[in-house]
Structure 1
Amino acid sequence: MNIVEAMERRHAVRDFSDRPIDDDTLRALNEAVDAANADGGLDVQLVQDDTDAFGGCPTHYGRFKNVRYCIALIGSDDEDPAQLDRKVGYYGERLALTATQLGMGSSWVVLHETHDHDGRWRLGEGERMPAALALGYGNRPGRAHRSKPLEELGAVENGDLSGAPDWFLSGLRAVALAPSALGKQPVRFTLLEDGKTVLAQPLEGVQADICLGIARYHFEVGSGHTDIVVR
């Protein structure tokens, strides 16, 4: 399964079976976590627990069952909080799609009270955990989410999408597949007048900066284009 196929197949799974993740798959996940930390300057941690990988932390949205594995998306909060949220979205989605390629289900989740977590992860001085990924083998497959039309996800400066290059449209189609809080997709990508620079913006919405990070990863994969300005 290539990364584009993983984007098409990945849907949120919240009800997991007792099937353990085998050692080879755990090794591949840990390698992906190490790469995300190296590339993003993060402190992402893979959590395994036989009862509750969330460590008793309440979820912001959604009911989860039998979560024995999760990826705690942690980073330094010394920088702009929006910047950390965007990094977590970007590298977290990269990990979610890796899990899909490895045959697992996953779901984004925002947890509350993450400093009181029964020791499932470590939060260093000045660190914050904006989100996590529940992982495992689902009891049932996830369902596709609704997506905004491309005209609401993207635009061309001083023009319209009818004149957009194929790579930009491919990026927007990948963005349409991106998960987002409450399925609202509060993001917009604009191809600027120079025909090569893309402006990525969060819109009003829940966890909009995390959603923008997720969508940016999808756009880059779908378009093969990384000349992106965020503001």
Structure 2
Amino acid sequence: MDMIQAMRARHTVRQYLGKPIPAHVVEQLEERLETDNREYGIAISLMTEDSSALGLSAKLVRAKGVRNYFMVSGNAGGDDGIDLDYRLGYVGADLMLYAQTLGLNTWWVGGTYNRKAVARMAQGDHTIGIITVGYGVVQGEPHRSKRPDEVSKYDGAVVPDWFSNGVNAALLAPTGLNRQPFMITGSGNRVTISSASGMPFAGVDVGLAACHFELGAGSRNFDWRR
């Protein structure tokens, strides 16, 4: 399975089998996150065989068997927070899709996790959530999605296939509260992606959608305008 196939196959999975992730697969996940951390200047880390990350509120969504997870974290420093959240969302999407190529399932958790416990373990001072990872009891189901015309607009008489493919890919990305609050705008080969001001998880959602858009559109076909 490649990343494009993983994007179509990945769905939220909240219940996991007790099957441990093999050591060689854990090594592959750690190599991927280390590469991403270096490239994007963040501090995501992987915790295995630990059940302390989910709070009591996770029971409301029937979470079960969560023992492995990425802590999605970075160091704020002089960052305004928006760009850091974008990078964390972007890399989080990459890690989820990569995990899917390895036969694993994931769940992006932005709210129902044990913030105090994760803050003690995380390597960065700004943590936006966790990504559970493991072998799902089921493979999950597609989430309810907006229409492409609700999240995109293209300035031109003919919408290029690469733009349409990118928008459809972005709609497969998880977003905070499943609201898909982003807007993708294209003109020529220039593309902008943004979120309404004041939205919770705005920077994160834009990063998640941007990673998916790049995969669907093909990074050679366009340039980001930010």
Q: Give TM-score, length-normalised by structure 1.
A: 0.88
Q: Following the alignment from structure 1 to structure 2, what is the Cα–Cα distance between the partners of residues 128 and 118? A: 8
What do residues 6-59 of structure 1 show as CA deviations (whole Å, max 9, x unaligned)? Answer: 000000001111000001100100111111101110111000134x14165866
Contact 1:56 1:117 (8 Å CA) reproduced: no
What do residues 140-176 of structure 1 show as CA deviations (whole Å, max 9, x unaligned)? Answer: 221101111111121013x46xx11111111111112
Partner of 2:195: 202
Partner of 2:210: 216
Q: Residue type matched to 1:68 in 2? A: R
Contact 2:4 2:216 (8 Å CA) reproduced: yes
Contact 1:12 1:107 (8 Å CA) reproduced: yes
Contact 2:53 2:114 (8 Å CA) reproduced: no
Q: Following the alignment from structure 1 to structure 2, what is the Cα–Cα distance between the partners of residues 6 and 85? A: 23
Q: Following the alignment from structure 1 to structure 2, what is the Cα–Cα distance between the partners of residues 53 and 47? A: 10
Partner of 2:115: 114
Q: Secondary structure at the match of 1:5?
A: helix
Residues 1:165 and 1:55: Cα distance change in structure 2 (over 3 Å): closer
Q: Following the alignment from structure 2 to structure 1, what is the Cα–Cα distance between the partners of residues 154 and 110? A: 33
Deviation at 1:63, TM superposition (A): 4.1
Deviation at 1:113, TM superposition (A): 5.7
Q: Secondary structure at the match of 2:72?
A: strand
Contact 2:90 2:209 (8 Å CA) reproduced: yes
Q: CA RMSD in A?
A: 2.2
Deviation at 1:80, TM superposition (A): 1.2
Partner of 1:90: 90
Q: Secondary structure at the match of 2:132?
A: strand
What do residues 102-123 of structure 1 show as CA deviations (whole Å, max 9, x unaligned)? Answer: 001100002566344495x234
Contiguous gaps of at least 5 residues in structure 1: none
Q: Give TM-score, length-normalised by structure 2.
A: 0.89
Partner of 1:172: 167
Q: Residue type matched to 1:17 in 2? A: L
Q: Following the alignment from structure 2 to structure 1, what is the Cα–Cα distance between the partners of residues 42 and 56? A: 21
Deviation at 1:206, TM superposition (A): 3.3
Q: Following the alignment from structure 2 to structure 1, what is the Cα–Cα distance between the partners of residues 114 and 17? A: 26
Q: Following the alignment from structure 2 to structure 1, what is the Cα–Cα distance between the partners of residues 52 and 69? A: 6
What do residues 196-230 of structure 1 show as CA deviations (whole Å, max 9, x unaligned)? Answer: 11111112543122111000000111111351123
Q: Following the alignment from structure 1 to structure 2, what is the Cα–Cα distance between the partners of residues 118 and 217? A: 26
Q: Does 1:189 align with 2:184?
A: yes
Q: Following the alignment from structure 2 to structure 1, what is the Cα–Cα distance between the partners of residues 118 and 14? A: 19
Q: Following the alignment from structure 2 to structure 1, what is the Cα–Cα distance between the partners of residues 204 and 96? A: 14
Partner of 1:140: 138
Q: Does 1:229 align with 2:221?
A: no
Q: Following the alignment from structure 2 to structure 1, what is the Cα–Cα distance between the partners of residues 181 and 119? A: 33
Q: What is the percentage of aligned positions where both structures have the same residue?
A: 31
Partner of 1:77: 76
For these two proteins, the number of residue pairs brought into alignment is 221
Partner of 1:21: 21
Deviates more, 1:75-84 or 1:204-213: 204-213
Q: Following the alignment from structure 1 to structure 2, what is the Cα–Cα distance between the partners of residues 57 and 77? A: 28
Q: Which has the higher helix share?
A: 2
